[in-house]
Amino acid sequence: MTDFPTDEEKTLRRKWTYEELAVLVTIYFHNDFAIGDDGRSECQLMADSFGRSTSAVDRQWRNVDSIVKSKPAFNVGALVRETVVGYLNNPVGVESFAGRTCETRGWPLSQLLVGAPGVDPETPVEAAKSIDPQSEVVASLRGLLEKIELKSFSSGSKGFFVQGKITAGGLRYQSQVSAVLIGSRNDPMLQVHANERDVQIALSDEVSGIARKTFSSGKQGYYLSLKLHLKDQRFQVSMQAVAIGG
């Protein structure tokens, strides 16, 4: 006889999204650690908002704490680490994203997002030093994605584009992200169904797949190419970060 998973087991297995983690990490950095305990009303409120169990929120809360304080941790997902690094590198950007997410999703967590600071301000700096450069690239690209805009390319294609300079591992990178609507080059009447926020959220999860690359110019950096399905349309996505200088 097969034992079917309980609702709590299902919520523990469901992958956390960048939206959820950005909100959770922002709340962590603005409140006392104790509110993440699964017996607290604040933890219950987060669980209800995310559609998860309080034990799932408690577990992820402790993962965040382990990363920030450089404590041993097991089975911590890459996206959790990247979200923490993203906050350390760009707290204003992540907090802004978290606030918009709660407003859009209808999550009643705004009060927790601006709670009383409960973390030693020196701790995040030490935690940031222990993060590898690739995670910093991923976190920085997430920040860059907040500026992505709808664009008509010179080729006649339509889609989204953003470029800018980021810093990771003590190096500066010239970075850009493009998402080109497949088929738009040969069909001037084809309209883009998605908006900037749709693309930002979708690519925030995908950017974890970016990998080191030596470009044809000989320069070092990171690169990712993929096809993205969004709003019943397909986009060819390219992300790159090329080291500036030697």
Q: Determine if the pTM surpasses 0.85.
A: no
* 38-91 pLDDT per residue, tens: 999 999 999 999 999 999 999 999 999 998 887 776 778 888 888 888 888 778
Q: State the Cα–Cα distance between residues 205 and 203, nearest whole angstrom.
A: 5
Q: Beta-carbon neighbour count of residue 44 at 10 Å?
A: 14
Does residue 128 register a pLDDT over 60?
Answer: no
Q: pLDDT averaged over the chain?
A: 85
Looking at residues 97-107, what average pLDDT do you find? Answer: 89
Between 85-99, 121-135, 232-246, the lowest mean confidence (pLDDT) is in: 121-135
| pLDDT digits 0-9 by tens, 9-47 | 444 568 899 999 999 999 999 999 999 999 999 999 999
Domain ranges in the chain are 7-130, 141-243
pLDDT of amino acid 125:
45
Share of residues in the chain with pLDDT > 70 (%): 87
Q: Are 184 and 159 in contact (CB under 8 A)?
A: yes
Condensed to tens digits (0 to 9), the pLDDT of residues 171-187 reads 889 999 999 999 999 99
Contacts with 221 (C-beta within 8 Å, 6 or more apart), sequence order: 173, 212, 213, 215, 240, 241, 242, 243
Contacts of 195 (CB under 8 A, 6+ apart): 150
pLDDT in tens, 194-220: 999 999 989 988 998 999 999 988 899
